[in-house]
């Protein structure tokens, strides 16, 4: 697939992991909201709330286990690379964050060059990881309520709720930026089909794009060498 117009951003395993997490989270959020907001403000009767609860419990499994499983089994190297990158911060990242609100509200701004993941995406990744761990831990405590002391169980409620609301806020921003914001909505293609336009890669993740080109060049040279030696 050497389409000069597009570059690969996320492989199949990464995309499967993302959508597993995203869909299960959204459904967990919606069904969880039914439990915490009294059946979506009374829209659901007790049968609906009970159903929401059952669905919420079932979805805990893909949310807790499948994402990690897919990443570890299907794309181990890039998974660890991603983890490394989101934990690596420099001055450019901080500058990006300070300037980003202008970008968000459509004001003219020159943002510093970013790697594969910009600072905002790094924050999103970190919050998602921490939040997911928090939700999974507190969630399973609530599900296996009889195995924990009353004190542990009690505090699981506000923590689970806090994590949900925090992640909910993060998701709102994340969905907007990846789907709707005119400057960044090309990103969704990266997560749906795996590729983004070369233009998008160059303009939004310049440092990454250059690394990619260097790799491609290197492979090209090696390929010619091999084809030479094959004779």
Partner 1 sequence: MLNHKLSRRTFLKATAVTTGAMAALGAEGLSLESWQKAAAASPETIVPTICEMCGVKCGILAYVKNGRVVKIEGNPKHPFSNGRLCARGNAGIKTLYDPDRLRQPLKRVGEGKFVPISWEKAIAEIAAKLKELKGKYGPETLVWACHPELIAPWEKRFTEAFGSPNFTGHAPTCYSNRNVAYNVTYGTLPGVDYGNVKYYLSPGRNITEGINNAVVQKIVAARQNGAKLVALDPRLSNFAAWADEWIPLRPGTDGAFLLALIHVLIKENLYDETFVREKTVGFEELKAEVEKYTPEWAEKITGIKAATIVRIAREMAAARPAAVVDPAWHGGLGGMYHNGVQAGRAAACLNALLGNLGAKGGLTFSPGMNLAKEDKLPGPPLPKVTAKRWDGAGGEKWPLAKGLGLIQTLPEVVESGKPYPVKALIVSHMNPVRSCPDSQRFIATLKKLELVVAIDIQMSDTAYHAHYVLPESSYLERSDPFEVAGPTIALRQPVVTPLGDTKGEDEIIKELAEAVGIGEFFNFSLKEYNNTLLAPLGITHEQLEKEGVIKVETTPPKYDKLPTPSGKIELASELMRKAGGPAVPTWEPPLVQPDRSNFRLLHGHVAMHTHTSTQNNGWLHGLMPENELWIHPSRAKELGIKNGDLVEVESSVGRVRIKARVTEGIHPEAVFMAHGFGSMVPTQHLAYNRGANHSLLVPILTANFSGAAAQCEVLVKVKKVG
Partner 2 sequence: MARFAMLVDLRKCVGCQACTVACQQQWGLEPEQRFTKVEAIEYGEFPNVSRKFVTTQCMHCDQPPCQEVCPTGATYKRADGIVVIDEDKCVGCQYCLTACPYGARTYNQEKGIVQKCSFCAARLATGKEPACVSTCLGQARIFGDLDDPKSPIVKAASQPGVLKVKGTAMMYIPPKGLNRADLPADATFPSYVSTWKGVVQPAGKALLGLTTGAVLLSLMINSVTHGKSDGEGEGRS
Applying CB under 8 A, the residues found at the interface with partner 1 are: 45, 47, 51
Closer by beta carbon to partner 1, 31 or else 195 = 31
Q: Binding marks (x or -) toward partner 2, 25..54, rule CB under 8 A?
A: ---------xxx-xx--x--xx--xx--x-
CA distances from 48 to 38, 153, 165 (A): 11, 25, 22
Closer by beta carbon to partner 1, 66 or else 100 = 66
Contact residue for partner 2 among 83, 127, 166, 213 (CB under 8 A): 166
Name the β-bridge partners of 6: 197
Closer by beta carbon to partner 1, 51 or else 142 = 51
Query: Which contacts (CB < 8 Å, 24+ apart) does range 99-107 have?
Result: 103/183, 104/177, 104/181, 106/182
Q: Per residue in 98-136, is it b (16+ CB within 10 Å) or e — as a string?
A: ebbeebbeeeeeebbbbbbbbbbbbbbbebbeebbebbb
Q: Report if residue 8 touches partner 2, rule: CB under 8 A.
A: no
Q: At what angle do helices 119-143 and 150-175 cross, to 10 degrees?
A: 150
**Which residues 53-112 are close enough to bind partner 2 by CB under 8 A?**
53, 104-107, 110-111
- Counting every residue written for the chain, the total comes to 231
Closer by beta carbon to partner 1, 44 or else 171 = 44
SS3 34: helix
Q: Report if residue 204 touches partner 2, rule: CB under 8 A.
A: yes
Q: Binding marks (x or -) toward partner 2, 182..201, rule CB under 8 A?
A: xx--x---------------
Phi, psi (rounded to 5 degrees) for 90? -135, -175
Contact positions toward partner 2, by CB under 8 A?
34-36, 38-39, 42, 45-46, 49-50, 53, 104-107, 110-111, 145, 150, 153-155, 157-158, 161-162, 164-166, 168-170, 172-173, 176, 180-183, 186, 203-204
């Amino acid at each position: 697939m050497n389409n000069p117009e597009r570059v690969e951003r996320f492989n199949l395993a990464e995309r499967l992991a993302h959508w597993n997490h995203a869909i299960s989270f959204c459904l967990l959020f919606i069904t969880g909201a039914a439990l915490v907001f009294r059946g979506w403000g009374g829209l659901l009767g007790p049968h609906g709330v009970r159903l929401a609860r059952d669905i919420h419990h079932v979805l805990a499994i893909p949310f807790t286990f499948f994402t990690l499983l897919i990443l570890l089994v299907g794309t181990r190297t890039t998974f660890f690379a991603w983890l490394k990158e989101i934990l690596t911060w420099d001055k450019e990242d901080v500058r990006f964050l300070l300037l980003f609100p202008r970008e968000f509200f459509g004001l003219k701004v020159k943002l510093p060059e970013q790697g594969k993941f910009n600072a905002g995406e790094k924050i999103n990744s970190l919050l998602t990881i921490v939040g997911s761990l928090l939700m999974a831990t507190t969630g399973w405590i609530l599900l296996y309520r009889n195995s924990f002391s009353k004190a542990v169980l009690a505090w699981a409620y506000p923590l689970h709720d806090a994590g949900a609301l925090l992640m909910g806020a993060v998701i709102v921003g994340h969905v907007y930026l990846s789907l709707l914001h005119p400057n960044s909505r090309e990103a969704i293609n990266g997560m749906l089909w795996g590729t983004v336009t070369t233009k998008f890669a160059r303009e939004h993740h310049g440092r990454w794009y250059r690394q990619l080109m260097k790799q491609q060049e290197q492979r090209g040279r090696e390929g010619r060498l091999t084809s030479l030696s094959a004779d």
